[in-house]
Amino acid sequence: MSESITEAQVAQRAAGVAAAAELRLLLADLHGTDAAPEVLTELIATLQSAREQLGGQRRRQRGESWRDFTLFAGARQALALPMVTRIESVDGHDIIVGDATVNAMYEGPPGAVHGGYLAGLFDDLLGHTLRLVPGTRAVTGRLTVRYRKPTPLNTPLRFEARLDSVSGRRVQSTVRCLVDGGITAEAQGLFVGVAQYDV
């Protein structure tokens, strides 16, 4: 049964997404700043005031999508990339596609995306292939990553994830990261069906 969403909830989500986007930019600026200590001290006071305005942490409310808060692609998650996935048809098969540019906050080797962060993006995108199997609810059972060459920072990346097979409770999918059509890394994921998400 779907839950009705009120106008107030729609407005609250839109404001939350915009605030997360602004904080994401602030984090990137802070990561590379050489501002004077007095500027940073003033910033600390501003941030403390902002936290007081928010009133501390809270639990998600009914009607809010958990996808908005996921670590790697949540629109309301300031640590996530602003990446939106979509379904495209390639060679007669539907695949999940995402476009993103990763900044220096996620650097591993000089000038390249951290391998662990890339693995997390892969896991998230592989999870989106479950959208191609209606009614399926599953969690990651295994993730295998192959790094072919460094994935550059501040460069448009294209991610392509495809569903490979479904057998009972087991779903297998693959994903790859491309730069100008060339593969920098790829992964295979095994997902295992569950009745519900227990935490």
What pLDDT, in 10s, does the model give residues 15-64?
988 988 898 889 888 888 999 999 999 999 999 998 888 887 666 665 56
What average pLDDT does this structure show over 162-180? 95
Above pLDDT 90, what percent of the chain?
A: 56
Confidence grade of residue 5 (pLDDT, cut at 50, 70, 90):
confident
By C-alpha distance, which of 156, 143, 157 is closest to 190? 143
Buried b (16+ CB within 10 A) or exposed e, 7-36: eeeeeebeeebeebeeebeeeeeeeeeeee
What average pLDDT does this structure show over 118-145? 93
pLDDT above 50: residue 2:
no
**Which pLDDT score, from 0 to 100, does residue 67 have?**
77
**Which pLDDT score, from 0 to 100, does residue 111 have?**
96
pLDDT above 50: residue 6:
yes
**Which pLDDT score, from 0 to 100, does residue 161 have?**
97
What average pLDDT does this structure show over 134-144? 91
Q: Determine the 3-state secondary structure of 99 from DSSP.
A: strand
**Which pLDDT score, from 0 to 100, does residue 134 have?**
85
CB distance 72 to 124 below 8 Å: yes
- Separation CA 62–CA 55 (nearest Å): 19
**Which pLDDT score, from 0 to 100, does residue 59 have?**
64
**Which pLDDT score, from 0 to 100, does residue 13 have?**
86
For 51-109, the pLDDT digits (tens) are 888 887 666 665 567 778 888 888 888 888 878 899 999 888 999 999 999 999 999 99
Domain formed by 81-193, architecture: Roll (3.10)
Q: Is 55 left (phi over 0), alpha (psi -120 to 50) or beta?
A: left
